[in-house]
Structure 1
Amino acid sequence: MQLLQVLQLLLLLQSFGWLQARRGFGAGEQDWGYVEVRKGAHLFYWLHYTTANVSAYTSRPLVIWLQGGPGVASTGCGCFEQLGPIDIEGKPRPSNWVQHMNILFIDSPVGTGFSYVEPPLGRYAEHNNQIARDLVTLMRTFLRRHAEFQRVPLHIFSESYGGKMAPEFALELQLAKQRGDLECQLLSVVVGNPWTSPLDSTLSYAPYLLQLGIVDHDGYRNISRVAAEIAQLVYAGKWLQAMDQSIQEVVETHTGGVFLYNTQRRVHVNDVYRYGEDPKLREFMVNNVTQALNLTHMSEWMVQNATVFIKLGSDIFKPAVHIVTRLLNETPLRVGVYSGMLDLLCATPGTVNWINRMQWKRKDQYVGASRRPVRINGMLEGYEKQGGGFSMFWVYRAGHLVQEDNPAAMSHILREFTGFG
């Protein structure tokens, strides 16, 4: 075989992913690896090639999934509790995203999941922009290793604290593309039950709980009082003090321990389940996934790294609405928000409030658009409103984890942005 033919064959194989693809854990071909994004700071990614019946996986989009927390691992909560091809029982997930598109799970910020820092050189991220720039550095390397994805439609999806991380990551990625630092086809950023405006979320707790009948007026007054104290601290720029206020303890006292992530979920008084923290998840990841990916020599996978959260303490209560505004005003990207209406932590009324105040050039198109019901197979699953480059989805029968609670509605949202779902 002539050299030119060999090179052409290599390019063809690369376009189909046959050079990079490996057998990982679960269905389909995969690839995974580390990128040193700063000295001693390493991010981990895990690519799941689509299992759709296509001649080339590049015919389907690439979706980046970022978990919240901050410090909850995409490789665990995202992949095995929400949207990956199998669950932690090893059973196929009928509503998994990989059957429709390529999914890139990233454990971010550094120190999350399989990602790690090397003491004393490595430093945890201490603000949102550092997280965003680290992710851009990872994507620069990823797109060199997987050059075939440079021409594939790219979308960023996230939830919870990802409502802060994803918009700034999208903005920095778009700016890097404009500078010629990398090549990608970023088209949209979509955030679910987002912590984009923490104060708006916090101020919505008391009225939300009162209207649902979960607290009475006494509970409403006490929760409102703590929320007002947090507001004063936020307005004064006292971010750490705002985070240290015990509003969740007050909510627990007056609600009898309602589940923050889904106010209608039945939870036993002895249950310890929290966001991304099924008691069986850590054992599953350490005993199965770590072995399959040959990562037994690395730092042990953690469900949630408290150090990541603590290092970001002064940034957690800062809003990111101005970043969303920049995306709408300065880029061609579509921006979407979806909200499970049973969530308390990032309650829908708070999200609607910051969207209502947000100003961008084409807002009149959004304001003038019709709010439409979303019906799937005749069943009402929520509502949507789209215009001016922005989309909002209100999701029925779902709390903080929309994909887990209402996969039918989530599939509709996926199709709206990616064309598949």
Structure 2
Amino acid sequence: MCEVLSPQSEMARFEWSQIWVTDILILATLFLCSISFAIATDPFVQQGKDRIGRALPGQNFNINFEHYSGYITVNEDTGRNLFYWFIEAEHQDPTSKPLLLWFNGGPGCSSIAFGEAEEIGPFHINPDGNTLYLNPYSWNQVANILFVDSPVGVGFSYSNTSSELLNNGDKRTAEDSLIFLLKWFERFPQYKKTDFFISGESYAGHYVPQLSQLIVNHNSATKQNPINFKGYMVGNALTDDFYDQLGIFQFMWTSGMISDQTFKLLNLLCDSQSVEHPSTSCEKILEIADDELGNLDPYSIYTPPCHGNDNHKVKRKHSIGRLRATYDPCTEKHSIKYFNQPEVQRILHVDPHHKPEKWETCSDLVNINWKDSPRTVLDIYRELIPTGLRIWMFSGNTDSVIPVTSTRYTIDALKLPTVSPWRAWYDDGEVGGWIQEYAGLTFVTIRGAGHEVPLHKPKLALTLFKAFLAGTSMPTLEPLPVAAF
């Protein structure tokens, strides 16, 4: 028989039921919050959001790899965000292939504009600026490639604090790059154990060794979150102001671009510091040297100029020793047209609230307001060479901005013992360039290449990259088969 409850008992039951309902609601809320938190912090969920898919605007070819793009916040207080584009290797298991981080220079130039779109990436832009073609010598055939627009103010990278764009420099760029890397590995944890390398060209001759130094220090300071860093490679790299400048003047003279008298006066009146802040006498001789050079591209002295500019000389203030000019106005125009398209930006996950008013290959604002740039990074080489990192330098031998002579003077200053003497290396039976191997450093030249080696000689550049990854020497000339009698 059921018990008849008193009013007091009914009230007690009601109060307890309220408590139970409240508890259930709290538990349900906590459960849903925990699920939301797990989803929000699950790196593979964020990877899914960053995944681009198989079709970019203007892409009429199939690909057999995944690629991702998005932002990594490197400073929460000011809202510094670096934009990246990660392209996996063409392999069933891309995590079994090495990972390469690529920088372009400037300072202030986009690695998306140059590294990806016209050098080592798979997606290159046709002259119409609307369609793409597949680069047959893309480096993602043998490695995963991570491109980053660095620092803030470059490409699609941005800051919520506008004054940040006026305060970039070597030190903060290196520190932000390390934070970027550590956070990127949190988003892509499957690559934490992958062999990791860094490469770049031009002003990345500062970025790459500076970041390498921070990574080595980070790995020494912590055993919990080390980066599996194996080495770095830089091309036509700004390394030491004195030796770089010495090599530039000599290269122009030996290449027949300036007169004997101008060569003598450049060495007499312009030291490495005065070229950046030239005296009146140095200014005058630099103007004379520019006139003697004529209307050629100092980044690639033997390639024809862009046809759109054949009838007039590009106006610039002293191309000599400067990294501010870009390589080819024609190639640049393709990128500017493509990456300014709203649909391209949407597919690449560019934040519409922080996209640049006009996307540019290089930022003059960043370049002009650069805060710190040491006159040499040779001290970093001296520190890192004994650690056993794989360190290579390469040089296209038709670049007059950071020419092969500059890099040779720079390496000589390290006074490293020679392991393997100067010799030619070969590709398909022809000389691809020259190589000399030192204790702790390998130097390779690429015959016929300008400042952007993979742009001018893509096949040779891929051969170089394969040898670097394998840690082997450059190919020798295979002997001809013995005729059978």
How does the TM-score come out when normalised to structure 1? 0.85
Q: Distance in 1 between matches of 2:313 and 2:346?
A: 29
Contact preservation (8 Å) 1:72, 1:276: no
Residue type of the partner of 1:299?
Answer: K
Change (3 A) 1:276 1:263: closer
Change (3 A) 1:271 1:186: farther
Residue type of the partner of 2:448?
Answer: R
Change (3 A) 1:337 1:306: same
What does residue 29 of structure 1 align with? 66
Q: Distance in 2 between matches of 1:291 and 1:21?
A: 12
Deviates more, 1:276-285 or 1:88-97: 276-285
- Would you say 1:85 and 2:122 are equivalent positions? yes
Contact preservation (8 Å) 2:52, 2:348: no
Contact preservation (8 Å) 2:398, 2:448: yes
- Would you say 1:76 and 2:113 are equivalent positions? yes
Contact preservation (8 Å) 1:188, 1:417: no
What does residue 212 of structure 1 align with? 255
Change (3 A) 1:215 1:276: closer
Change (3 A) 1:391 1:408: same
Secondary structure in 2 aligned to 1:280?
A: helix
* Deviations, residues 86-120 of structure 1 (Å, cap 9, x unaligned): 21111111111122221000111221111112235
- Would you say 1:281 and 2:335 are equivalent positions? yes
Q: Distance in 2 between matches of 1:191 and 1:129?
A: 19
Cα-Cα RMSD: 2.7
Q: Distance in 2 between matches of 1:60 and 1:308?
A: 34
Displacement, 1:175?
A: 1.3
Structure 1 unmatched ranges of 5 or more: 1-12
What does residue 8 of structure 1 align with? none
Change (3 A) 1:124 1:178: farther
Residue type of the partner of 1:293?
Answer: L
Please list, as runs of the form range in 1=range in 2, the aligned pairs for 1:135-284 lying within 5 A after superposition: 135-180=177-222, 182-225=225-268, 228-231=269-272, 233=274, 246=283, 249-267=287-305, 268-270=310-312, 274-275=326-327, 278-284=332-338
What does residue 332 of structure 1 align with? 388
Match of 1:414 among 455, 465, 485: 465
Q: Distance in 2 between matches of 1:126 and 1:248?
A: 28
Q: Distance in 2 between matches of 1:314 and 1:184?
A: 27
Change (3 A) 1:69 1:250: farther
Q: Distance in 1 between matches of 2:85 and 2:286?
A: 34
Q: Distance in 1 between matches of 2:143 and 2:97?
A: 5
Secondary structure in 2 aligned to 1:371?
A: strand
What does residue 22 of structure 2 align with? none
* Deviations, residues 268-309 of structure 1 (Å, cap 9, x unaligned): 353768337512321111115313213243322321111211
Q: How many equivalent residue pairs?
A: 391
Secondary structure in 1 aligned to 2:113?
A: helix
What does residue 449 of structure 2 align with? 398
Contact preservation (8 Å) 2:196, 2:230: yes
What does residue 96 of structure 1 align with? 138
- Would you say 1:49 and 2:105 are equivalent positions? no
Change (3 A) 1:135 1:124: farther
What does residue 79 of structure 2 align with? 40
Change (3 A) 1:69 1:120: closer
Displacement, 1:412?
A: 2.1
Change (3 A) 1:232 1:77: closer
Q: Distance in 1 between matches of 2:166 and 2:183?
A: 20
Q: Distance in 2 between matches of 1:289 and 1:410?
A: 28
Q: Distance in 1 between matches of 2:448 and 2:250?
A: 20
* Deviations, residues 173-223 of structure 1 (Å, cap 9, x unaligned): 121122226332111110000011133222223321221122222332343
Displacement, 1:19?
A: 8.8
Q: Distance in 1 between matches of 2:149 and 2:50?
A: 20
What does residue 115 of structure 1 align with? 157
Q: Distance in 2 between matches of 1:94 and 1:200?
A: 36
Contact preservation (8 Å) 1:252, 1:258: no
Residue type of the partner of 1:308?
Answer: V
What does residue 4 of structure 1 align with? none
Contact preservation (8 Å) 1:371, 1:385: yes
What does residue 317 of structure 2 align with? none
Q: Distance in 1 between matches of 2:354 and 2:92?
A: 36
Deviates more, 1:54-63 or 1:274-283: 274-283
How does the TM-score come out when normalised to structure 2? 0.74
Deviates more, 1:176-185 or 1:73-82: 176-185
Change (3 A) 1:67 1:306: same
What does residue 10 of structure 1 align with? none
Structure 2 unmatched ranges of 5 or more: 1-42, 127-131, 315-324, 475-485
Contact preservation (8 Å) 1:328, 1:390: yes
What does residue 410 of structure 2 align with? 354
